[in-house]
Chain A
């Protein structure tokens, strides 16, 4: 149980275009999802926390107009990188937490498999 599916796993886009990354919880309801960015050989940097049906909470320094997060249902959150530039190239990872009927002790913060974004 507690599987998170993240797509695409790898995407190459041209500078100036937008890219959407999807994160789905397959067998549980995820009221909260987290989006991280990971630079090569570094740890995960939290970008934002999204709660189903409400606006995402962005970490300091993360441009909310560039990184649009939508959490429209209990099983799907999307991250859209708008007007992408080469400096946005990175590894993006989502993580889902259970609904109020479950806790971190139950699901342990399940992670997606990540998306490698390359902007050329």
Chain B
């Protein structure tokens, strides 16, 4: 079975500050890990994904995440927050096959303060 825990339902940062959204996973097999962003009343947009290649994954909009097997973590970071980054972020874990659904964390709402 797989599960995801996102620490912090709400994170608030100042514009220009570092963004750090935490995600820990549990998986009995090598996982595929994803970060998605959701803006109000919209679907999910893929930010980045880890699929057993490089452990440091770079995504869109300046985000990146590092897979740390020893810590079972896949934290999302961005060096400098922008107002447009304010949204809901979901971490998810899946399998290679793609025929099983992703398991989502509860989400973290990111607020960016001017």
A residues in contact (CB < 8 Å) with B: 6, 31-32, 34, 41-44, 46, 49, 51, 91, 93, 95, 97-98, 102-105, 107-114, 116
Identify the closest chain B residue to A32 (Cβ): B99
B residues in contact (CB < 8 Å) with A: 32, 34, 36, 41-46, 49, 51-52, 90, 92, 94-102, 104-107, 109
Q: Is the CB of A111 within 8 A of B99?
A: no
Q: Is the CB of B96 within 8 A of A103?
A: yes
Query: In the complex, which residues of chain B have a beta carbon less than 8 angstroms from the beta carbon of A102?
Result: 98
Expressed in whole angstroms, the Cα–Cα distance for A91 and B42 within the complex equals: 9
Expressed in whole angstroms, the Cα–Cα distance for A79 and B105 within the complex equals: 24
Query: In the complex, which residues of chain A have a beta carbon less than 8 angstroms from the beta carbon of B95?
Result: 104
Q: Is the CB of A44 within 8 A of B43?
A: no
Q: Is the CB of A43 within 8 A of B101?
A: no
Identify the closest chain B residue to A115 (Cβ): B43
